[in-house]
Structure 1
């Protein structure tokens, strides 16, 4: 199985590259903040506390998001190999052997990802400490350290994420029918969504806006709601397809049919759009409300929290953006054969590209809508406790920048991938696929 896994990785290098990039960037984020714990060993008590809080908060949510991203990417990859997995079962492979194959592939990718991430993580951890020095959060003479804690956290968490993602993905690969799988995802999505809404409700009921913990609890609302809505992407896609059914024209008709026929694949592409929009909007507006409110944090904590928030936004939204690009490219290029069949059936290349553009527009609008709803679980409660109003009295420019970025990434990536996928003659695409 080990040799078969290595051959599979070599044969499908392009397909595995998306998963490798996701795991690598996730390892960089985790090791960058875990290195703050190495740095705190040489710091005074107050500085050590600041570094530990920052490492714990960002690292903890980084773990959740990286695990979700790895699971989404690996599940998409396994789903795209359904024919290969069915062939393995036909020639006698047992479900346990297929699970072992997927697990070995994932662990191998995780180990490679950690090795690749070591050098950039050392650099980014040093940059992070320098930013904290510039913000006067740590002493100017404190040396940045990158040691055993960073490496252990990066290796352990990345491996754990890959193993968990592989086990989830392998369940689909190893069996032909799983009637309860959709129900389990639905229950998990609702539970996480309720937890996010509860975080927002807790902020409005239990805090008055002066406690240091209010920002941490409020920030959980957008994160949990975004993950919950991402888990609920399949029923969301089904509902959107139903709404689009009356559309006229070739592109509109094909879009509705494809959304309904490729529900899980489209849901996988929708999830990172929701995450990107929800996390960026929620965190950025929470900090803007804090900056403009009349009840600021204690003076000695405000710069630390502001620095932490902007670092979180930068790292996590970058990760979500890369996840979005990887997922869209992988999902679109996998449809080469479908595009070829459509063209052989009479559709022109412009019609196919029009269909894909319409799909991307629908996904972008849907992702932005539900990402915005996820962000309200942070923005509204935080605005209420800080300003007394439901909506913050601040500029809309930040929100427009977030949604335009999400839409542009989705549309540009999808159309560019589709153009590449339809670049060959249709008959050659169908024959090769």
Structure 2
């Protein structure tokens, strides 16, 4: 039967091309997502400044966090701040056999005018010439200054003057080593050590220290690269899983339509004695031939598309540019396996109906399709509807805040599968309901379109399903994102109790904070320091792998948290305020142990229990305590509340005058809101890109399916024209069918998206309808209508170009 399958494909080029396109595009997308996942797993970041060092010694940027209180299982958790090492560790490294050179490295931000730079100590520069003196600096040629000139450089929130000692071809600035040690904000500490050794394996430096070689060395230079990998893995996994699900939909609908169009041929084979098993083998053989050819063609394009996606992520700021894209042979194997599995399952489903009927019923079944609701369809539909309903209940009863969106993706697919299982019935029912309006506006051609749809509901459902899927996925994912963004912006605005923000690119110094505090019209001042922390003892059942956001404050009046017990006035020294959702069996006056962002463990006394917005719980710590455990060491923003009766303009003028001469800027509360919105926009842009990719694939399948379905009706169109229909009437009938298919798909897709959107919106905003412009939905609807009409009318126009007698004679 496999050889027969090869021969039949030669005479079924339309169905072959349609199935090939569906499988090919599915394999390309899955291959690209698998390549992104491999890139995230590897997190390869080739070194730049440390290319000369065979090994790099750095602080361990992750730790093991307990997963539950009853079992000793742990999970690896990334630390958000740079883990620094004591400079004295250099002596231990030098004592290791085979080590010839050890260079400590520090990095910190500075600004030359409005140009931000990264500064280092001279020892790590490895440039010719004498080292700069204490009052000197080496600047890049792009800075536009000359040797011997004096420049003002902003560093650690203050302006300082330095003489330009040299001009280098490097993009960074360099200070004397002892000066850099002080300016870094962490005296006596280094970011990492570059080590020249002929035996990196001999470096055994104890716990908390990592020895990096190869492309891993870049992780010390660019610690954000490891976090990028952590973001890329789940993103590519979700996108890949959704792509596979959509591919199964698309390929199955294409193959089932192709098999349905060959019903007469397959019925004749059954009537002359072909067994059901042989028929299934033939259909499966044809599908596997298509799948093999499609995956072979996708092997070349998959990595190219994956690299393009990766470049979009890096240019959009979602992934660090230091991460290197890597796609080996494993992603292609995954893509081939997933595509062939999707093709195989689709072929088995498509051939099941043909193989099940008796030979005496085969020809009748081919001419007049009978029942479509098999027990398997009914069971799958009920299971999917039950699963979608269950996820909605879980969202409403358990989820809080943005995490509620985590159930939306699976819910969309469950509702989509459920509707697809009963789509012939939905198609027929909708056609019955629309027959009145269709006859009213379209006359006889509309009546004929309704009749065709009712009598060939199974065939039409094959075209409805991709439209339903495209509308459902696009509507759900876009409005989930717009609602999430709007809810985040609203919550941020409600939590922010400040009238002005003072910000500095290199930090806001204690001198600046003191000036701000004594400025006219100021009622409260608090540095704004954001990080993350983990409660390590006692065990917190509510803590996730990401820990808690940690916020550093000096004045609780700038935060919207409601004190349940204790007092935020006592938030000084080694203290902490816990959210009331933390399950640590501790109260005010008792202690908890936190692991802060740089890996340091601190035992802190609880001074308050606070109630915060659901889904946005955070730990409140003294600003000076938290600042010392962040990468920068200083607050980048300071929140200011105005005294009663002081308006925004007056406050801004007062703060500008108070901070004159300092490298800071004064803005209103919208400054922080804009920064928060920018972070949300980055994540939203990535989601839109991936959703667009998947919806684009689905849209292509819509056109693919409709073109195939319409072009095979040449004989039917010829008979209609011989019966008295004009060519224009046939085309209008095809347009009416296309519009009807679009309407059914839009209604079904809207229902599918509502199954995910409504529970999420009730949790996130308390409303049924999502946030976001209605124009988005109108564009989705318009696109579906245009695609359906175009894909229905153009093939019909081509099919009716021949004479009716010729069309009847050459049609199936």
TM-score between both structures, scaled by the size of structure 1: 0.93
Deviations 1:261-302, CA, capped at 9 Å, x for gaps: 111001111111111111101101111111211347887985
2:448 aligned with 1:254, yes or no? yes
Distance 1:423 1:355 in 2: 16
The alpha-carbon deviation at position 45 of structure 1 amounts to 4.6
Distance 2:430 2:463 in 1: 14
> Partner of 1:363 in structure 2?
741
The answer to whether the Cα contact below 8 Å between 1:132 and 1:307 also exists between their aligned partners in 2 is no
1:2-401 equivalent positions in 2, closer than 5 A: 2-43=2-43, 45-176=226-357, 182-211=374-403, 214-246=404-436, 247=439, 249-293=443-487, 294-295=490-491, 302=680, 305-401=683-779
Please list every run of 5 or more consecutive structure 2 residues that lacks an aligned counterpart in the other structure. Answer: 44-224, 359-369, 493-614, 617-675
Structure 1 pair 392–89 and aligned structure 2 pair: CA distance change class (3 A): closer
Deviations 1:158-189, CA, capped at 9 Å, x for gaps: 11011111111111232335968534223322
More divergent stretch after superposition (91-100 vs 278-287): 91-100
Distance 1:306 1:140 in 2: 19
Question: Greater relative contact order (Cα 8 A, min sep 6): structure 1 or 2?
Answer: 1
Distance 2:681 2:450 in 1: 49
The answer to whether the Cα contact below 8 Å between 1:29 and 1:62 also exists between their aligned partners in 2 is yes
Secondary structure of 2:454's counterpart equals: helix
Deviations 1:287-345, CA, capped at 9 Å, x for gaps: 11112113478879856742442132111101110111011111111111111111112
Secondary structure of 1:155's counterpart equals: helix
Distance 1:188 1:354 in 2: 37
Structure 1 pair 2–210 and aligned structure 2 pair: CA distance change class (3 A): closer
Distance 1:295 1:218 in 2: 21
The answer to whether the Cα contact below 8 Å between 1:210 and 1:295 also exists between their aligned partners in 2 is no
The alpha-carbon deviation at position 149 of structure 1 amounts to 2.3
Q: 2:786 aligns with which of 390, 408, 412?
A: 408
The answer to whether the Cα contact below 8 Å between 1:230 and 1:272 also exists between their aligned partners in 2 is no
Distance 2:473 2:260 in 1: 27
The answer to whether the Cα contact below 8 Å between 2:249 and 2:466 also exists between their aligned partners in 1 is no
Distance 1:90 1:370 in 2: 38
Distance 1:267 1:112 in 2: 28
Secondary structure of 2:725's counterpart equals: coil
* Structure number having the greater strand percentage: 2
Please list every run of 5 or more consecutive structure 1 residues that lacks an aligned counterpart in the other structure. Answer: none
The answer to whether the Cα contact below 8 Å between 1:37 and 1:149 also exists between their aligned partners in 2 is no
Deviations 1:48-102, CA, capped at 9 Å, x for gaps: 3222211211111211111121111111111111111122223332221111111
Distance 1:342 1:302 in 2: 56
Distance 2:6 2:402 in 1: 55
Distance 1:34 1:379 in 2: 28
The answer to whether the Cα contact below 8 Å between 2:373 and 2:422 also exists between their aligned partners in 1 is no
Distance 1:343 1:203 in 2: 55
The answer to whether the Cα contact below 8 Å between 2:313 and 2:686 also exists between their aligned partners in 1 is no
The answer to whether the Cα contact below 8 Å between 2:318 and 2:683 also exists between their aligned partners in 1 is no
Structure 1 pair 245–396 and aligned structure 2 pair: CA distance change class (3 A): closer
Structure 1 pair 227–295 and aligned structure 2 pair: CA distance change class (3 A): farther
The answer to whether the Cα contact below 8 Å between 1:2 and 1:104 also exists between their aligned partners in 2 is yes
Distance 1:179 1:401 in 2: 36
Distance 1:48 1:244 in 2: 51
Distance 2:334 2:245 in 1: 14
The answer to whether the Cα contact below 8 Å between 1:190 and 1:232 also exists between their aligned partners in 2 is no
Deviations 1:120-152, CA, capped at 9 Å, x for gaps: 211111112112212333321221111122111
Distance 2:429 2:373 in 1: 19
Count of aligned pairs = 431
TM-score between both structures, scaled by the size of structure 2: 0.51
Secondary structure of 1:327's counterpart equals: helix
Larger radius of gyration: 2
Structure 1 pair 304–224 and aligned structure 2 pair: CA distance change class (3 A): farther
Distance 2:372 2:295 in 1: 34
The answer to whether the Cα contact below 8 Å between 2:482 and 2:771 also exists between their aligned partners in 1 is no
The answer to whether the Cα contact below 8 Å between 2:485 and 2:680 also exists between their aligned partners in 1 is no
